[in-house]
Amino acid sequence: MPEDDRALSAAEELALARLAIDEGDLDHAAGHVAGALVQAPTLPEVHEALARLAAADGGGVELFPLNHHAFVGAVVARAHLLAAAGHPGDGLDLLVAATGYAPQTDWAGVPWVTAPELAERLAPEHAARILMQVCAALPDPVPRAGRPALAAYLTLARNAVTVHPEHGLLLGAASALARRVGEVALAIRWASRGVRAQPSKMGEVWLGYAYRSAGRTREALAALGRAVGHDPDDLAVYADIAGTLADTGRLDEALEWIDRALARDPSFDCAVHTAHRLRFQRDGEVAHLVALADFVRDHPDDTHEHGDLAECCRSRPWLGQVTPATGPAVDALRRAVVGDHGDLGDAVRLAAPAPPSALRTVATAVPGLRIEMAGVVEPDAREPRRPGVRPLWRYDGTSVAPAVPAPSSTAAERIRQLVHPAWPHPPAAYDAAVGLATLELADLVGLLAHPPEPPATAVGRVLAGQDPSLWVRCVQVWACLGLLHHRTDEPWDSSTRRRVLLDLVWGVEDWVTEAALFALVTAAWVDPAVRPEVAGVVAERLADAAAVARVRPMPVAASLAHLALATPDLDRETATLAAELIGGGLGVPRPRNPLARLWQRLTAPLRRP
């Protein structure tokens, strides 16, 4: 059901509908009535106009045909007319379809749906199916703001349960709806009646879910255990039991249940996803998440979507988001942007050169703030870490400028539409960056040193107003992910994308170093064949960073350590070194998130309902 592109109010739609009815143009009138229903689906005047249209056409149902791409307003109008013609079950099916399309809209809040007579006319199996279809379109639980739009369905459930008080399937489906809309006590009561009336696996599952929503874990586990007794081959219930145990910290017991499921079917998707998630919760080893990503890639036809990988990666450095920059230059930048100049004065004095991206960001965002350096500490941060790499930056003493041309306006606009500081997991970031595949190499490299201005979106305004450095880092990360999609017909070993990313990794110490290394780590997530090489590159780069950090400040060291811990097949020695760097060893400051509230605002749209 595609969105309608009109923006008329319900009153305007109704006025045009009445004029069309008066002129006998019923097709035109039907379009306006459908538009009014979308704007105000429960407004009495809209239903009066629909009734008048039906009277003029002898029922009016055929004025709202169900085409392949039906307009949601036409679907709802047809539903009401079918009910008026004595087919309320058929009408209810269409209202549920509309709810599945837009659950936040009160499509069903009309008298014929909430009348007790409807429940009397519906077979209990039909009522149960309706409620289950509604539940399938809803998150669990429904956010409080979305619950009023579902009140009519809960009333229907009450009425149906009153008419059929011993129907197990209906009671269970009603319980599922009640649970989702926050009526947990009612959900328990209905589900309990259902399993008493007709003991079944699904009845016990519904009861277990209701208990779990109420925080009554012991009763939830007992009900789910009885469900297994009804059907020992339903391995999804094993995964539910494991998840419930894990939520209460009983990981060992949870994994026992998962192992029981995997012993029956090692490829059962729910068990595999849950097993990897729980093992990661237990020991924090990224290998579990990589194995899960491999399973997802090798089993694209899973029975339903799982969120275990995204849940484990959420808010973790580089697994689910870019890390904020650290160092005195960006600390001064953040204070200046929000107006907290404190003791900054007109200059910030650094003990060693800051990353060139940091210097350029400060110069762009706060042009009046001077960065002064006490001197050069060896090894010189302005020199590449390996000879022969193509320079991205050009130094003139302590000042820095891009050594590559600016990107095209097309490239700048493309990345402005894509950039976000968070992603579900590395393979999802790789997939999202495919939109940059058609950009030229010069554009992708140019974006690294010439980031465009943030867009006038909510994310762009927040980043520009509170931390311009984060916007620059995001651009660099996504540009490097775009490099992974450059000339993918070239074999990896001799590819342009590999050569350019390695040049960036071994260039001068910069935020681009992190972005390029993240792109290589992401390549290892999606392509097992490159894992040995990438793990070796990460190990060498981190060892070099640790050596430098022993003799002078290195702002990117801790972030490189987080990248190492996100790398598939990383050797144990490098993982230990990474943990030491993150913990503040070798003189590297312990990383912190100076923008916790900002992160909460930026990543909120990505959180599960």
Domain map (residue ranges) of the chain: 233-313, 403-606
CB atoms closer than 10 angstroms to residue 302: 14
pLDDT, residue 588, reads 61
Cα gap 545→163, rounded to integer Å: 72
pLDDT, residue 447, reads 98
Q: Residue 345: is its pLDDT beyond 80?
A: no
Q: Which letter, b or e, does each residue of 387-416 get, where b requires 16 or more Cβ atoms within 10 Å of its Cβ?
A: eebeebbebeeeebebebeebeeebbebbb
pLDDT, residue 329, reads 86
Cα gap 170→385, rounded to integer Å: 68
Q: Residue 226: is its pLDDT beyond 50?
A: yes
pLDDT, residue 607, reads 36
The identity of residue 431, as a single letter, is D
Cα gap 376→397, rounded to integer Å: 10
Please report which confidence band the pLDDT of residue 287 belongs to, taking 50, 70 and 90 as the band edges: very high
Q: Residue 398: is its pLDDT beyond 80?
A: no
pLDDT, residue 352, reads 74
Q: Which two tokens stand for residue 424?
A: 């579900």
Using a 10 angstrom Cβ sphere, with 0-12 exposed, 13-18 middle and 19 or more buried, the burial of residue 328 is middle
The secondary structure of residue 556, as a DSSP letter, is T
**Mean per-residue pLDDT, 256-270:** 95
Q: Residue 421: is its pLDDT beyond 80?
A: yes
Q: Residue 218: is its pLDDT beyond 90?
A: yes
Q: Which two tokens stand for residue 242?
A: 């494991």
Q: What is the pLDDT of residues 193-209, one digit of tens each?
A: 999 999 999 999 999 99
pLDDT, residue 526, reads 98
pLDDT, residue 587, reads 56
CATH class of the structural domain 233-313: mainly alpha
Return the biggest CA–CA distance within the chain: 90
Please report which confidence band the pLDDT of residue 2 belongs to, taking 50, 70 and 90 as the band edges: very low
* Of 263-277, 342-356, 561-575, minimum mean pLDDT range: 342-356
DSSP string for 203-246 = HHHHHHHHHHHTT-HHHHHHHHHHHHHH-TT-HHHHHHHHHHHH
Q: List Cα–Cα distances, 7 to 10, 106, 607, in angstroms.
A: 9, 19, 30
pLDDT, residue 341, reads 54
**Mean per-residue pLDDT, 160-187:** 98
pLDDT, residue 443, reads 98
DSSP string for 33-66 = HHHHHHH-TT-HHHHHHHHHHHHHHTS-GGGS--
pLDDT, residue 203, reads 97
User: Which of 589, 555, 559, 500 lies closest to 355, judged by CA?
Assistant: 555
Please report which confidence band the pLDDT of residue 585 belongs to, taking 50, 70 and 90 as the band edges: low
Please report which confidence band the pLDDT of residue 462 belongs to, taking 50, 70 and 90 as the band edges: confident
Cα gap 429→420, rounded to integer Å: 10
pLDDT, residue 465, reads 77
Specify the higher pLDDT residue, 32 or 327: 32
Q: Which letter, b or e, does each residue of 461-476 get, where b requires 16 or more Cβ atoms within 10 Å of its Cβ?
A: ebbbebbbbbbbbbbb
**Mean per-residue pLDDT, 540-561:** 93
- Among residues of the chain, what percentage have pLDDT more than 70? 93
Q: What is the pLDDT of residues 133-167, one digit of tens each?
A: 999 999 999 999 999 999 999 999 999 999 999 99
Sequence-distant (6+) residues with CB within 8 A of 271 are 235, 238, 239, 258, 261, 262, 265
pLDDT, residue 331, reads 86
Q: Residue 5: is its pLDDT beyond 80?
A: no
User: Which of 543, 484, 473, 547 lies closest to 514, judged by CA?
Assistant: 473
Average pLDDT across the chain, whole number: 91
User: Which of 595, 544, 185, 181 lies closest to 421, judged by CA?
Assistant: 595
Please report which confidence band the pLDDT of residue 333 belongs to, taking 50, 70 and 90 as the band edges: confident
Please report which confidence band the pLDDT of residue 590 belongs to, taking 50, 70 and 90 as the band edges: low
